[in-house]
Amino acid sequence: MIQAFRILCRCRGTKVQTRLMALGSIFCMLYFLVVTFTVTALAWFEILPNLYPHKPDSITSHKIVISFVFVNAMGNCVLILGTDTSIHRLSQELKKKVLKTKEFKNCAVCHEAVPARTHHCYLCEACVLKRDHHCFFMTVCIGYFNHRYFVMFCFYMMVGTFYGMFLIVMYLKLLFNTTFYGPQTFITIIYDLVYGFLTEHYPNEKFLFLVILMYCSLTAGMIAASLWFWHVLLVISGQTTHEARRGIARHTGKSYYRNFVDIFGKYWILSVFVPAPLPMYYDPLFEDYQKRNNKKEHGECKHD
């Protein structure tokens, strides 16, 4: 977000399109923060106490789930924002090794020698290793070093927003006796609201607020679910969005498990439940992992 504000504050040298993209990033980030904190606070301080006035154990159970999901979503969000995805974090030794191979190119924008699968981002103003896309909700690029955080962020946002929507639906039933017959109810509610405004039968302010928040949660949940599903496919296939759209598959020779471990690292089980900057195989461990697998593959060939 800081980089987006810097682009907006520049007086000269920035294209209008880039400024609009920076403004869009800020708006999306604020939308995410407002919806997340509003739904969490409302569920914690109002919905749960009213839904279960005489069941403290039920309130505690719901709050434990909310806390776990919220900490994981926010934790992965912080890691996405705080992780340097540019090639500048690569060690000098690794850069020298890359330059000795044919797997490098010169960036046309910053004129640096960069590894293969590296792309320049005009908003981040840096070359990002294995760049997937610039996330407008996070205001940063998603690349090799923060891809796992993004996948887990989408997962916990999907769970959290749908969970929040479920609590809001229960609260609407309690306060206004709103009946939900199925998915079609989300359409009929809009029809009833529009008809009420046209006939000057204005809805209750609290009802309107809860309905708007319900639709915000539904929208955010559907976006998070689609992103999570898409990026899980990318992780196990070893591709980026750019490569998948263009049918580039020369980096997908490894198994699904090896592609998964390449992104989530040695301690991938912890990465699923704990938002923490755990080691990845791209560090010195990555070379050892490759050597071990190569030995196993050669050993299996000799044995056969």
- At 128 the three-state DSSP class reads strand
> Which residue, chain included where needed, has tokens 């980026």?
240
How many CB atoms within 10 Å of residue 44? 17
Residue 198's pLDDT is what?
A: 77
State the first-to-last Cα distance of the chain, in angstroms, to the nearest integer.
55
Of 235, 237, 75, 49, residue with least CA distance to 157: 75
Cα 299 from Cα 197, distance rounded (Å):
74
Q: Are 146 and 85 in contact (CB under 8 A)?
A: yes
Cα 254 from Cα 266, distance rounded (Å):
16
CB neighbour list of residue 66: distance below 8 Å, 6 or more residues apart: 40, 43, 44, 160, 163
CB neighbour list of residue 41: distance below 8 Å, 6 or more residues apart: none
List the pLDDT tens digit at each of the 304 positions of the chain: 555 556 656 656 666 666 777 777 778 888 888 889 999 999 999 999 999 998 999 999 999 999 999 999 999 999 998 888 887 776 565 666 656 655 667 778 877 777 777 888 877 888 888 888 888 778 788 998 899 999 999 999 999 999 999 999 999 989 888 888 777 888 888 888 887 777 777 778 888 899 999 999 999 999 999 999 999 999 998 888 888 888 877 666 678 888 888 888 888 888 889 998 887 765 433 343 344 444 444 444 333 3
Instruction: Return the structure tokens found at 8.
Output: 């907006």
How distant, in Å, are the alpha carbons of 22, 96, 168, 277 from that of 272? 31, 33, 27, 12
Residue 107's pLDDT is what?
A: 78
Residue 280's pLDDT is what?
A: 74
pTM score, whole prediction? 0.82
Residue 284's pLDDT is what?
A: 38
Cα 51 from Cα 169, distance rounded (Å):
11
Q: Are 262 and 281 in contact (CB under 8 A)?
A: yes
Q: What is the DSSP string of 139-166?
A: TEEE-TTTHHHHHHHHHHHHHHHHHHHH
Cα 253 from Cα 243, distance rounded (Å):
14
Cα 129 from Cα 231, distance rounded (Å):
17
**Maximum distance among all Cα pairs of the chain, rounded to whole angstroms:** 82
Instruction: Return the structure tokens found at 244.
Output: 């998948």
Burial of 9 (0-12, 13-18, 19+ CB in 10 A): exposed
Residue 72's pLDDT is what?
A: 96
Cα 213 from Cα 165, distance rounded (Å):
8
Residue 139's pLDDT is what?
A: 78
> Which residue, chain included where needed, has tokens 């504000």?
5
The DSSP bridge pattern shows strands 140-142 and 133-135 to be antiparallel
Cα 78 from Cα 210, distance rounded (Å):
28
Residue 250's pLDDT is what?
A: 67
What would the 3-class secondary structure string for 222-238 be? HHHHHHHHHHHHHHHHC
Q: What is the DSSP string of 36-64?
A: HHHHHHHIIIIIHHHH-TT-HHHHHHHHH
Q: Are 56 and 154 in contact (CB under 8 A)?
A: no
